[in-house]
Structure 1
Amino acid sequence: MGNTCPRFCWIWITGRWCRGEGLCDHKIPLDRRFSFGMMPGMLRVFWSLILFLWLAFGAAAQTLGVKGPAEGTDGESLAGEELELTDAEWHVRDVMLAIFYHELGHALIDVMQLPVLGLEEDAADVLSVVMIDRLWDAESSEAKVAAAAQFWAASAAESAEAGYEPAFWGVHSPDERRYFTYLCLYYGGAPEEREALAVEFGLPEDRAVTCPEEFDMAASSWGVFLDELEAAGPGETLVWLGEGEPADYVEAAILEEVEYLNSIWTLPEDVGVRVGPCDEANAFYDPEEKAITMCREMAEYILSSAPGE
């Protein structure tokens, strides 16, 4: 239980979560229908591994390349330099952006003093999907949701294999549920166009029926506040805390997203953003510093669990 970390930590490589004042705890499901946590240990390991292998060797065949924001350029950075990344590196880039949107959710809740009806971690996950749907074109948004789902499947399989069980008193939903949250909300945004993705990734029909309504609720709830940021116009309130040129493609991706969001948004307060070492696979928003930290170890962990690696 010993590791400590700032508030709103996102994930730890062992499958445990850091919360509140820094104590690490296991994950808790809110809806047991999509949790393997209620299964006997060996059965949970078996089904988690099946899910991971299915995604790694089946869904991995789909394109994970990124075009950039909807107003961006195909296969290029904001600086206009063509990106030459492997499929696994595109996967890392997509997942890290999904995580960045999650941490941005915590930041917006803090600096905009937003009401949260339910668990804040769930609200941040919802924003991540809304941002992907709102800011990216069809091909790029599908790639990001697919990558995020594959990441959650891999994380669930690793946790199950290591023998970790969800803690029903925790503040995070389990990996399996977050997998279906991303799929359901994204599918609900355009059911006809995204049906193939939902089928490929195993979204149950019983859940799929409610996904359009769930997406509409998510988009309208967060949309009120995102519209407010856009109405304020361009600004420089997302403050890049890095020094010099980006060290790698991950740092470049986060910097580009900061620059893009500054071109359409102004926050009520400055929020810092950095990519750096953390001594653990993590990402977090620190409300005291008012800064988002994307850990390099997280990118390394995502790469190690990428399809085909």
Structure 2
Amino acid sequence: MPVLLRLAVVLLGVLASPVVARELTDEERAIAMEFAMHDAIFTLYHETGHLLVGELGIPVLGKEEDAADSLAVILILNYTADLDERYNTLIDVADGWYINAGESTGDGIDDLSFYDEHSLDIQRAYATVCMMVGADPDEFADVAEVYEMDVERQDACGPVYAQAEAAWMTLLDPHFGETPADRIAIVYDDAGDYADIEASLKEWQVMESLAGLLASTFALPGPVTLRAAQCGEANAFYDPDAHEITYCYEMGAQMYDLYRATYAEDQ
């Protein structure tokens, strides 16, 4: 399905009238897993932001979660070789937050998690789109239009992206270098009922690609681990004591189901 068609379906149909779920076709299953893997890529880049802050002692002004989101966008745009793939990744991520925003709002404003360390999902969706537009206004003009971002806001996104990129690159500049590949471990714990998520992570080389980026780009002070595991919840996190990023198989399953519930239903 074309990227912008997916996007339009989300924005125009996510709050539509009740629908009846049906079985996915093989093509839809592949697209649903692609959606989940795009989210996994972004999530691991986001956690990489926390890892770099923790391992390199980088200071962060403001909310670290927002800073990690910004770095994830910057790394994907700058270090993903396939142009279409990096754009589709970011669009799927923005779509995912947009869908989740409708669900997380609940019955009203009292149900919003204002105390959470993350910004609201709807804010993260629009912030991601703004970063995309700021980085490449021509490429993402249609995305901004679907998200109903006015021209003045689109123009303001250029400085937003430039400031975020300049700030991160300034902070990371003393730490650019290389880390021996054998100091970055990749571990796949038993996936249990999530064997399809484990298989897709491996097929997409999600953790292997991140390990390669870390090894070739940053001079890390010590060994780090990238782990996929069952966590009992849909989550991902950086553990500074273990020097480890964990991606939970449940998160991949949740995003797969989110696609299925949103896109693959009979009206």
TM-score above 0.5: yes
1:117 maps to which residue?
A: 61
Change (3 A) 1:116 1:90: same
Q: Which has the higher contact order (CA 8 A, sep 6+)?
A: 2
Contact 1:238–1:258 (CA<8 Å) still a contact in 2? no
1:285 maps to which residue?
A: 238
What's the % identity of the aligned pairs? 28
Residue 139 (structure 1) shift: 1.1
How do residues 97-246 of structure 1 correspond to structure 2 at under 5 angstroms? 97-136=41-80, 137-161=82-106, 165-232=111-178, 235-242=181-188
* TM-align CA RMSD: 2.8
Measured in 2, the distance between the counterparts of 1:249 and 1:229 equals 32
Show structure 2 runs of 5+ residues with no match.
1-7, 16-28
Residue 184 (structure 1) shift: 0.4
Measured in 2, the distance between the counterparts of 1:268 and 1:97 equals 24
Aligned residues: 234
Residue 153 (structure 1) shift: 1.0
Task: Specify the code of the residue in structure 2 equivalent to 1:203.
Answer: M
1:305 maps to which residue?
A: 258
Measured in 2, the distance between the counterparts of 1:269 and 1:162 equals 47
Q: Deviations over 1:114-144 (max 9, x none)?
A: 0101011111111111111111232112101
1:95 maps to which residue?
A: 39
Contact 1:237–1:267 (CA<8 Å) still a contact in 2? no
1:255 maps to which residue?
A: 207
Contact 1:94–1:144 (CA<8 Å) still a contact in 2? yes
Show structure 1 runs of 5+ residues with no match.
1-49, 58-84
Change (3 A) 1:203 1:267: farther
Change (3 A) 1:109 1:51: farther
Q: Deviations over 1:179-231 (max 9, x none)?
A: 01111011101112221222223334342121110111111111234554443
Task: Specify the code of the residue in structure 1 equivalent to 2:77.
Answer: D
Measured in 2, the distance between the counterparts of 1:243 and 1:294 equals 10
Q: Deviations over 1:128-166 (max 9, x none)?
A: 111111112321121011110111011111112465622
Give the structure with the higher percent helix.
Answer: 2
Change (3 A) 1:56 1:296: same
